[in-house]
A and B are shown apart, each in its own frame.
Chain A
């Protein structure tokens, strides 16, 4: 400890990580230097491809073999260069001196081992404790990360736990041997906002109590504002700017940082005029009930995914549906698009109830409701060209191929892509471009109602801002009724005229965006707003604008 304490926890000097020869970039990380002192939280911020995760992998010695190579520089962990360490020494260091938690608590834990066994594995690898001593230590650690009913939970499998609980297990596992350095790679990105707030608090608490140095990787400036001591901004493998939290967030010097921060949607909604167009979509007591097929000797489980949902949406209006996972917001969207059949209630599309129309009679109405999905990497068929994907729908509804292609070319221009790109395949586009293509595909059907189901959630913040602007633009241009489903309050604040908050299948509150943000009524809405990261940051932002 004495020897270690004279060094920073982590001292990276001039690190360069080379990419394999074929790509358009030669390096994933270029000449990166950063230090982390004991008890300090350093946030590395950047968009996809910035090299932030590669940096983490390089520190842990987990760079994919044969693909990425740390070419130059040193990574000193308490004075010891991990790039020079032997594989055996690296294994010793992992877990004892440095530990890591990952983005997806759903997949980062082994599904076929109990969570207790997985935490205990850390002790089995690095200590000589007997199995009963291990169990004691694991229970103690699980209590320390505030898990409930640990005696029972220790023998649970990951799928029996919620996302937040799993992330707590990951944290318990990472910290059980008191490492000097904790690397957290987007640890709250996959979590609901209230869970995220709890996990951030936990990381901060554990880090303060144990004096751990934390390298916290994130793309979310709200999170940075809540947790960081110092901030490092990366772009394309380069360090753009670094400094204390307030220096970087409040007075960013570099244009890239300024652009990033300006792209973060503010929690303060702008003024919007009430919309008075005709009602395009209305639901009456819409409900969807799932019944578990119990079968032989088994009880049936009944889940009300959506329960008595009532709302109306006018042409030219954006209605935000906000809620955490499992709140039923996607279920409502899928019912309206009739991708799933509602169990009860009415869906009035331009006055006609389509809730229970048989498929044959529904078909002519399908084109009026179009959906843009969350993951642009999976919602376009990889084996078909973009053009084929766009013209397929209109041709199903009677347009000739020639007309459909003309329309597709127009729309490509409208969404900011070259019409020539129609002959290319989805993998040749970036995430933001693909989402533009998805929008063009939806618009090609000339719908009245457009459903955006977490359509910007998978995008980087600067790209997100552009796609949001595009969505708002096409809403105005085509007088669309836009149903905007999101878990992100910042996004909802910026784009929605009205907001509907859902919890456990029910609508708990609904109202104009500005009113709702200024004066939330329902306890759940208040909890959601409180949990949104970066409140101070947001008030600073609104002062600047």
Chain B
């Protein structure tokens, strides 16, 4: 088991390296010279050359790459062209809101979606099942920003229960955190609930036809335990997969949600950086997102082996 985890962690290193190469190449191969962009419209050729030299762009490409990698390993992702601040600092500042929003959304959606899915599977074909599935289709088809504004209108403006905008850190202001995070969580979680409910239903439904479910009933086990102890654990692998993929999707969804609720997270940073063509930030963010995906994938793989003892790599 520990050997497997060690192996799996070790195997992410080459993947991360390949990702780094691709990101590096992507920005070097895209048309347009960052030095020209930085220098602005009225720059002379001499100024551009100087900027190129200061950015290290005049060095051979492999030396650029090695310098870049060494910097990354030291936690140095470069300096923002626009704000002149270190990219790592900028990302660090914006990381917490996005992480927190992702975390609350995952916890909220999984704890709603999995029981709903199991219930729907247990009552397959009944009205309960149809209702849950209808709700799931609705969750898929409802645009994130529409739901966000509807919630703001109802609970923020009409009922005045919750603040409409902003973010408070749970470490300094737990109550403020709770009240600001509720609506973004529901907004972002809706599509996710729909997705996980469907997968859970399908997966559990398949497992419920298995022989060992009959065995569990033949033992006199109560239905709740047949469902959650015997069925759900066997159905867990596809559910874990979709939760993992979902976390990756969430980061995309966070961009819109953060904009709607004015949360100073990574999503906003991405949008701003792209609009300003702030290459170092874009590069740093892609790197951070990619590494997050790689780590999530690794965690899912490890989760598989814990969920199903038959899976060994």
Contacts and interface: CB of A to CB of B under 8 A. Distances in A.
A157 B310 contact: yes
Contact of A94 (B210, B211, B219): B219
Interface in A82-126: 90-96, 99-100, 102, 104, 107-113, 121-122, 125-126
B1 interface: no
Contact of B219 (A104, A122, A157): A122
Interface residues of B, number: 25
Given A109-B212, A110-B212, A121 B218 contact: no
Contact of B234 (A111, A122, A157): A111
Nearest to A296: B7
A60 B218 contact: yes
Nearest to B306: A112
Contact of B220 (A109, A112, A125): A125
A113 B229 CA distance: 9
Contacts of A159: 309-310
Please classify the interface of chain B as helix (H, G, I), strand (E, B), loop, or mixed, using the class held by over half of its residues: helix
A218 interface: no
Contact of A100 (B7, B10, B218, B310): B218
A170 B212 CA distance: 11
Nearest to A107: B211
A62 interface: yes
A518 interface: no
A112 B234 contact: yes
**Looking at B10, B218, B308, B310, which has the most chain A CB atoms within 10 Å of its CB?**
B218
Contacts of B211: 102, 104, 107-108
B201 interface: no
Contacts of B219: 94-95, 99, 121-122, 125, 173
A78 to B, nearest CB: 16
Contact of A111 (B11, B212, B216, B217): B212
B159 interface: no
A193 to B, nearest CB: 23
A189 to B, nearest CB: 13
B234 A108 contact: no
A125 B226 CA distance: 12
Nearest to B8: A296
B212 A62 contact: no
Contacts of A113: 229-230, 233
Interface in B204-235: 210-212, 214-222, 229-230, 233-234
Contact of B221 (A93, A102, A121): A121
A96 B215 contact: no
B15 to A, nearest CB: 13
Given A111-B308, A111-B310, A112-B234, A94 B220 contact: yes
Contact of A91 (B11, B222, B313): B222
A112 B233 contact: yes
Interface in B277-313: 307-310, 313
A178 to B, nearest CB: 14
Contacts of B230: 110, 113
A126 B225 CA distance: 14
B3 interface: yes
A297 interface: yes
B307 A112 contact: yes
A96 B220 CA distance: 9
Contact of A110 (B3, B215, B218, B313): B215
A297 B221 contact: no
Contacts of A62: 214, 217-218
Contacts of B308: 111-112
A68 to B, nearest CB: 14
A15 B23 CA distance: 72
Given A94-B217, A125-B220, A159-B310, A108 B212 contact: yes
A424 B72 CA distance: 66
A95 B7 CA distance: 44
B313 to A, nearest CB: 8
B308 to A, nearest CB: 6
Given A111-B310, A112-B308, A157-B310, A125 B214 contact: no
A294 to B, nearest CB: 10
A59 B220 CA distance: 13
B217 A108 contact: no
Nearest to B222: A91
A102 B211 CA distance: 8
Given A92-B220, A125-B220, A296-B11, A109 B310 contact: no
B220 A126 contact: yes
A296 B6 CA distance: 11
Contacts of B216: 110, 121
Contacts of A126: 220
A297 B10 CA distance: 10
A95 B215 CA distance: 10
B220 A108 contact: no
Nearest to B221: A125
Nearest to B214: A62
Contacts of B212: 107-111
Nearest to B212: A110
Contacts of B307: 112
A310 to B, nearest CB: 36
Interface in B231-277: 233-234
Contacts of A108: 211-212, 214-215
13 contacts: A60-B218, A91-B221, A102-B215, A107-B210, A108-B211, A108-B214, A110-B216, A111-B308, A111-B310, A121-B221, A126-B220, A170-B215, A297-B7
Interface of B: 3, 7, 10-11, 210-212, 214-222, 229-230, 233-234, 307-310, 313
Given A111-B309, A111-B310, 14 more contacts: A90-B220, A91-B221, A92-B220, A99-B218, A108-B214, A108-B215, A109-B212, A110-B233, A113-B230, A121-B219, A125-B222, A159-B310, A295-B313, A296-B11
